[in-house]
Amino acid sequence: MNWRISILILYFSALSCQKETGLSLASHEGYLISATEVMSVRKKENFKFLDFRKEVNYLKEHISGAIQIWRKDIENPNFEYGGMMPSKEQVENLFSNLGIATTDYIIIYDDNGLCEAARLWWILQNYDFNKVKLLQGGLPDWKSAGGKVDTVTPSYPKSEFILTNQPSMKYFASKKEVKNAIKNQVTIIDTRSTDEFMGIYHKKGAAKPGRISNSLHIDWAAAINYHGDKSLKSIVELEKTYNNRITTKSDPIILYCHSGVRSAHTTFVLTQLLGYENVRNYDGSWTEWSHFDELPIENESLTFN
């Protein structure tokens, strides 16, 4: 009996050590993480929370220590139209000035079903920075799990954030690539609202209403409980939404919306949750495409070029 008792002692000692040490973000699979999973990680010195909400909401309350950013912070200003992906150097300067180091894990949350967070995830993926997590449930779930919130705007010392010299741009599609996709009958999906897709309405920044020729329509919001808590739908529900419209998971797919934000969310859903293998997000999206009269567009009453 003594050897059995010894084994039990060793077993429970191991469990005790594991509990004391805690999990690590490096061992956490995937880019989604819950509030309780974050809290289970004992060593938090290399965390940086990014609050991707408008400043007025951030100032009311936010996760303790969180840094507030907004869309303009991650846009390249060197275009005549807005919303374009920042350069590698812009991201490095922004994060270094915010006090985010290359060794940090970045945990992003928003109040829009992870739509804003997914855009930053997409940018960082293109630049091959993988130490990023999207916080499921955002601030409400964080508070429900007992996480600390406050109204203090933190200040971190300037750090060094360096990206790889030759990024893969693995989820990125350019205007030229979209033109080629139309010629080659590649699946192009418009993730905007029905009214935008039909050309009834266009958001500020676009030159005209309409859609890219030969586009299918799947609203990005079909992936979340949009009129509820904005949580992601179950895998079964997501499979029903997308698998019925896309032939196989290995087919090339190009996504777009107004400025590549909503379509970044769909990029996340397709690649990270549903296992689609060849998905790219058109950075300029309708904002860029609509500025060029020679590019083929459609709406419900007219077809151009």
Written out in words, the top-level CATH class of the domain with range 172-304 is: alpha beta
What three-state secondary structure class fits 254? Answer: strand
CB neighbour burial string for 28-52, b if at least 16 within 10 angstroms, e if fewer? beebbbebebbeebeeeeebbbbbb
Where would I find the beta strands (DSSP E) of the chain?
Answer: 32-33, 47-51, 62-63, 67-68, 105-109, 132-135, 149-150, 172-173, 187-190, 211-212, 215-217, 253-256, 279-282, 297-298, 303-304
Residue reference for tokens 């609203």? 219
pLDDT at residue 299, rounded to an integer: 86
Pairing of strands 303-304, 297-298: antiparallel
Boundaries of every domain in the chain = 24-150, 172-304
Angle at 112 between CA 73 and CA 72, to 5 degrees: 10
* Tokens standing for residue 46: 């290399």
**Of the candidates 236, 286, 240, 237, the residue with the CA atom closest to the CA atom of residue 261:** 286
Cα distance between residue 261 and residue 194, in whole Å: 16
**CATH match of 24-150 with 3.40.250.10:** yes
Cβ atoms within 10 Å, residue 143: 15
Topology match between the domains 24-150 and 172-304: yes
Please name the residues in contact with 59: beta carbons below 8 A apart, sequence gap of 6 or more: 151, 153
Cβ atoms within 10 Å, residue 97: 12
Catalytic residue set: 257
Q: pTM score, two decimals? A: 0.89
Going residue by residue through the chain (305 aa), what tens digit of pLDDT does each one get? 444 434 333 333 333 333 334 456 666 679 999 999 998 885 665 889 999 999 999 999 999 999 999 999 999 999 999 999 999 999 999 999 999 999 999 999 999 999 999 999 999 999 999 999 999 999 999 999 999 999 999 999 999 999 999 999 999 999 999 999 999 999 999 999 999 999 999 999 999 999 999 999 999 999 999 999 999 999 999 999 998 888 789 999 999 999 999 999 999 999 999 999 999 999 999 999 999 999 999 987 655 44
